[in-house]
């Protein structure tokens, strides 16, 4: 676990914690506001969280070549996560626009 400095580890770990808390906040907002379509954003954020966990895992084990597949998985999940966030944004926009025209 000596590949990254302590401050770099702090950034990595705090980013994972912050992303997790953000997912929970969005989910809670959906519940409290009764705008359940916001849950799509929470679901869309999950691939990004798993991507970050892949990066932390790879660094935790000192970046061994035997875990190079984690780098590929992390990159793939980043792309997938960007797409799911885009789709979630579209779904929220569409759902909120439909809700406005219903009144």
For 29-58, how does the pLDDT look when each residue is reduced to its tens digit (9 = 90+)?
999 999 999 999 999 999 999 999 999 999
100: its two tokens: 């406005």
Mean pLDDT, the chain, as a whole number? 94
The domain ranges of the chain are 6-102
Going by pLDDT thresholds of 50, 70 and 90, the confidence category of residue 102 is low
What is the b/e burial string over 50-84, where b = at least 16 CB atoms within 10 angstroms of the residue's CB? ebbbbbbebbeeeeeeebeebeebbeebbebbeeb
pLDDT at position 99 over 80: no
| pLDDT, tens only, 81-97 | 999 999 999 999 999 98
Q: What is the pLDDT of residue 3?
A: 75
In a 10 Å sphere around its CB, with 0-12 CB exposed, 13-18 middle and 19+ buried, how is residue 24 labelled? exposed
* Pairwise CA distance, residues 50 & 97, whole Å: 31
């Amino acid at each position: 676990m000596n590949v990254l400095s302590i401050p770099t580890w702090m950034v990595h770990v705090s980013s994972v914690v912050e992303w997790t808390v953000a997912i929970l906040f969005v989910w809670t907002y959906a519940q409290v506001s009764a705008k359940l379509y916001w849950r799509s954003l929470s679901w869309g954020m999950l691939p990004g969280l798993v991507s970050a966990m892949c990066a932390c895992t790879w660094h935790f084990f000192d970046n061994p070549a035997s875990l190079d597949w984690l780098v590929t998985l992390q990159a793939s999940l980043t792309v997938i996560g960007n797409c799911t966030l885009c789709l979630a944004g579209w779904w929220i926009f569409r759902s909120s626009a439909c809700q406005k025209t219903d009144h």
